[in-house]
Structure 1
Amino acid sequence: MRKITIYHNPACGTSRNTLSLIRNSGVEPTIILYLENPPDRIKLLNIIEALQITPRALLRKNVEPYETLNLAQAHWSDSQLIDFMLQYPILINRPIVITELGTKLCRPSEVVLEILPDRQSGAFTKEDGEQIIDEYGNRIIN
Structure 2
Amino acid sequence: MITLWHNPRCSKSRQALALLEEAGAKVAIRRYLEDAPSLAELQAVHRALGSPPAGEMMRPKEPEFTAAGLSTTDSDAILLQAMADHPKLIERPIAIRGAQAKLGRPPEQVLLLL
**Unmatched 5+ residue regions in structure 2?**
none
For residue 97 of structure 1, give the secondary structure of its aligned residue in structure 2.
strand
**Unmatched 5+ residue regions in structure 1?**
117-142
Deviation at 1:22, TM superposition (A): 0.8
**Equivalent residue number for residue 71 of structure 1:** 70
Deviation at 1:100, TM superposition (A): 5.1
CA deviation map 1:84-123 (0-9, x unaligned): 111100111110001258310010111122222xxxxxxx
Query: Which structure features the higher share of helix residues?
Result: 2
Aligned residues of 2:4 and 2:27 also touching (Cα < 8 A): yes
TM, length-normalised to structure 1? 0.73
Structure-2 separation of matches of 1:97 and 1:107: 11
- From 2, 17, 21, the counterpart of 1:4: 2
Q: If you compute each CA radius of gyration, which structure gives the higher value, 1 or 2?
A: 1
Percent of aligned pairs with the same amino acid: 35
Distance 1:80 1:101, change over 3 A: closer
Aligned residues of 1:7 and 1:33 also touching (Cα < 8 A): yes
**Equivalent residue number for residue 28 of structure 2:** 30
TM, length-normalised to structure 2? 0.89
**Equivalent residue number for residue 15 of structure 1:** 13
- Higher normalized contact order (CA 8 Å, seq sep 6+, divided by chain length): 2
Aligned CA-pair RMSD: 1.7
**Equivalent residue number for residue 96 of structure 1:** 94
Structure-2 separation of matches of 1:93 and 1:7: 9
**Equivalent residue number for residue 54 of structure 1:** 53
The answer on 1:110 being equivalent to 2:108 is: yes
Distance 1:85 1:100, change over 3 A: closer
Count of residue pairs brought into register by the alignment:
113
Aligned residues of 2:55 and 2:72 also touching (Cα < 8 A): no
- From 83, 86, 96, the counterpart of 1:85: 83
Deviation at 1:27, TM superposition (A): 2.6
Structure-1 separation of matches of 2:28 and 2:72: 35
